[in-house]
Amino acid sequence: MKYINLFVKTTILLIFMLQTVCFSAEDYRIKEELASSQPKIPLKNAMGDEAYNKAMNSGEYYYVGNTKCRLCHRKFFLGRKKDPHDFAMESLIASGHEENPRCLTCHSTGHGVKSGFTSIKKTPRLSNVQCEGCHGPGNVHIRLIKEKKRWGFLTGTDKPKRLKKMCQSCHTKRWDRSYHDLKKAYDKYRNADPNSKVKK
């Protein structure tokens, strides 16, 4: 009886220790992030300070939310509904950091920019890393398209270097598990559904 009791106690202790180890292994990046300085706005990092300040101070660019994109890019909109970028806010909610500005920089659309995400309550339509989280504010693009012109994004497909730098602005050394080969990962996002095996 004595031995069984000891066995049960040891097992419980072991399970407890294992759990602690596993949780801290999962959490160490969050701890590191919390101890670092506020990360730079991805769009600012991708464009460089000068170009960013010029564009954003002009007041010409603002975020519109992905429901606007759905009107003309239905396939992309639906394809991205399965992509983890569209669930980035859920990761913050699960870890209790959905109001932490440090985390929102990379888990929402345009946080830190005037027209960008502020909170789930105030700007639910800009939750997660949406279309404009990679391509930048979309209002000018929509205006140009309506005038039968094209382009208009600050990090559009006509600026692949900047768009690549956008990936790297969020996928930093600390947050580096999503891909090993940037070029390969980047190319996948030409497809409406980046995780589909079939080419568009």
Q: Phi and psi dihedrals of 108, rounded to 5? A: -145, -175
Least distance from ligand HEC to the Cβ atom of residue 11, Å: 29
Contact (Cβ atoms closer than 8 angstroms) between residue 194 and residue 83: yes
Pick the closer one to ligand HEC by CB: 9 or 29: 29
Choices 7-15, 49-57, 62-70, 117-125 (CB under 6 A): range interacting with ligand HEC: 62-70
Task: Give the residue among 114, 108, 104, 119 at the shortest CA–CA distance from 61.
Answer: 114
Check residue 113 and give left, alpha or beta (phi > 0: left; psi -120 to 50: alpha): beta
Pick the closer one to ligand HEC by CB: 54 or 200: 200
Give one DSSP letter per residue of 74-89, joined into a string.
Answer: HHHHHHHTTSGGGGHH
Contact (Cβ atoms closer than 8 angstroms) between residue 11 and residue 140: no
Least distance from ligand HEC to the Cβ atom of residue 138, Å: 2
Least distance from ligand HEC to the Cβ atom of residue 10, Å: 31
Site size with ligand HEC, rule: CB under 6 A: 65
According to DSSP, residue 92 is labeled H
User: Which residues bind to ligand HEC, rule: CB under 6 A?
Assistant: 29-30, 33-34, 39, 42, 64, 66, 68-69, 71-73, 76-77, 80, 84-85, 87-88, 91-92, 95, 97, 100, 102-103, 105-107, 129-135, 138, 141-142, 145-146, 150-151, 153, 156-158, 160, 163, 166-167, 170-172, 175-179, 185-186, 189-190, 195
